[in-house]
Amino acid sequence: MGDTMSLEGTASRELCDPSWPAAVLDHLDTLTAPRAALLKQRLHHQFPLLRSNLQQVYGQHAGFDAFLSAVLLQAVHSAAQRDDELWALDVAREARPAWLHDGLVGYCAYTDKFAGTLQGVAARVPYLQELGVSYLHLLPFLKAGQGANDGGFAVASFDEVEPALGSMSDLRALCRTLRGAGISLCSDFVLNHISHDHAWAQAALRGDERYIGYFHWLHSEAAVAERERHLNQVFPGTAPGNFTWVPERQAWAWTTFYPYQWDLNYANPAVFADMAAAMLNLANHGVESFRLDSTGYLWKREGTDCLNQPEIHHLLQALRCLCAIAAPAVVLKAEAIMPTRELPPYFGLGPVQGPECHVAYHSSLMAAAWLSLSEGDASAVHEVLRNTPDLPEGCAWLSYVRCHDDIGWNVLRPELAALGSDPGERLAQASRFFAGQAPGSRARGAAFQASDTRAVHGTNGMTLALAGLPADGDGSPEAALAQMHLLYALAFFVGGLPLIYMGDELGQDNVAQAELSARQGPDGRELHRPWLDEAALAQRHDPASMAGRCFAMLSGLVRQRRAQLPQGAPIQLRALDSGRPSVLVLQRPQALGVFNFGASPVPLDLAALNLGLTEPALTLAPHEALWLRLPDTRADQPDRAEQAQA
């Protein structure tokens, strides 16, 4: 642990605040002077915020002071346990919050499907470097419940790796390898629920009063019916309802997602304390970022839909404080799949003001891009970006084309209503289009969790399949490749943190039906969860292959972004009027992005934008994306974004 437990040069209590718990003061006395001094600085900044946020949620509890003391002591203890390499990373990032704007590029994959095990992931770090990745999101790799486990999102232990994937020692070694390669590891941290196989749930089943209080219980069908009256359903097709009968308890457990995922009761302060401790433990193993899963569901309030409640933001801001004390290098990423107007609070820009998450998924932008592609009309993307606020230093949007989840169309309802159209009809049409059920569609996706053809819930499928790549090579891939390039060029231009979904860089297709039939459970999202294609991987440098064309496309966008789009500060984006329904024009400092969502060529008068561009007009090819340098940059002439070549 380096110098963390040495008593030599122990710091005095001169800089301590008398409001800090005595146990914290005692622990600071065990540290070397440099570490103690820095921790005191952090405590001066963070303890008032931590106390205020936790008091808003738990201040009425009789044991609040003891709870606060224990939570703070755990953070200080975790900081003391940071190894020298992580401590140095903390100090460096703490001193320069703008590091998050240095042009990170993300890659998202399942551990087993990407490389088999955590050790296998370590062996593929050179491949990630070749692609240009600096941020790796490995989907759930912690120990999951037995049997069906929602792709690992039903966590049975926060302190163990899924045995088939490796061990906690493997995790620590992988983090060290990634860090040496300049890549940050992001882990899912499922906040809302745990597996019914988790030790807490098992203790509750045995009648342990402490752990019974970790969950929500209803004791009558009438109570369940009253709650359901206000709640949405996440998986109406495979897991209808929000409650599950538990015979051992003779009660219904709250299960928002699947019956084997029990929602945690954050009204109980012990739940927050234990979850915070689990997260800091993973941070000390080297995890640098946490995707905070299902954040919008954390707080339950009777008579509401139990989404986006104010207490959630106090809890997230308290977690941010604890990280700022114990592991300032850590990035918190909100997985809040909500309409655009509901996302700013997850950055602390809502009614509950204060530092909160560093990054949030821009799911509305992703869905709008696909909608615009289906319609040949850029209005939906334009409206989403018009309502997207600029972010402060140290905060960024995560922009993406695909992920392990479905495309959730309903996040777009507010923007489409503002445009004066019928949201339900437009979104249902998009769902049908990408399922290949609309005139002119060549898409090969599938509807997700829709009980009938009129319902709007989601769309599954890999990028090229949704873009209409002909099956089994039966036809030209050019249109699908152009659409994929358009969508990724938009994500890279807009995003503070753009994300590549595993398989897209090799042009992988949907999972074959035979394999789908053999997979566990009926989850339609398995359609876009392929194994990394080893044959395609070997062809990534062959310009005549699909893998080679896609790898060149995405690695080229990584290089082009680094060379052409200024980094180092939050992105300030402005949507301009192109005068053409299919064309989106975006301005950011020193650069212009032009995106044609239509299937026909479009002439564009750049002079009308009054930006001083030397090329007054151009004609955009179908689904073409261009990044143009504005006159005050290094070059005066516009450069076309790298296109997928035959």
**Which amino acid is residue 97, in one-letter code?**
P
| Cα gap 153→137, rounded to integer Å | 14
Using an 8 Å Cβ cutoff, are 296 and 234 in contact? no
| Cα gap 309→28, rounded to integer Å | 36
Strands of the 243-246 sheet, one edge to the other: 217-218, 251-254, 243-246
Write the burial class of residue 19 (CB in 10 Å: 0-12 exposed, 13-18 middle, 19+ buried): exposed
Beta carbons within 10 angstroms of residue 100's beta carbon: 19
Estimate to the nearest angstrom the gap between the alpha carbon of 452 and the chain centroid: 29
Using an 8 Å Cβ cutoff, are 34 and 84 in contact? no
| Cα gap 112→253, rounded to integer Å | 31
Angle at alpha carbon of residue 123, lines to 119 and 129, rounded to 5°: 130
| Cα gap 455→471, rounded to integer Å | 27
- The token duo for 636 is 């005066």
342-351 per-residue burial string, b: 16 or more CB within 10 A, e: under 16: bbbbbbbbbe
Query: Checking DSSP bridges between strand 446-447 and strand 459-460, what pairing results, if any?
Result: antiparallel
Nearest to 282 by CA among 142, 85, 483: 142
Task: Name beta bridge partners: 620.
Answer: 602
3-state percent breakdown (helix, strand, coil) of the chain, nearest 5: 40, 15, 40
506-537 per-residue burial string, b: 16 or more CB within 10 A, e: under 16: bbbbbbeeeeeeeeeeebbbbbbbbebbeebe
Which three-class secondary structure state does DSSP give residue 282? helix
- Which positions are annotated as active-site residues? 293, 335
Using an 8 Å Cβ cutoff, are 625 and 596 in contact? yes
306-320 per-residue burial string, b: 16 or more CB within 10 A, e: under 16: bbbbebbbbbbbbbb
- The token duo for 346 is 């997850």
Using an 8 Å Cβ cutoff, are 466 and 486 in contact? no
| Cα gap 475→332, rounded to integer Å | 44
Query: Checking DSSP bridges between strand 135-138 and strand 184-190, what pairing results, if any?
Result: parallel
Task: Name beta bridge partners: 291.
Answer: 188, 333
In order of 140, 289, 384, 541, the CA distances from 184 in angstroms are 16, 7, 29, 26
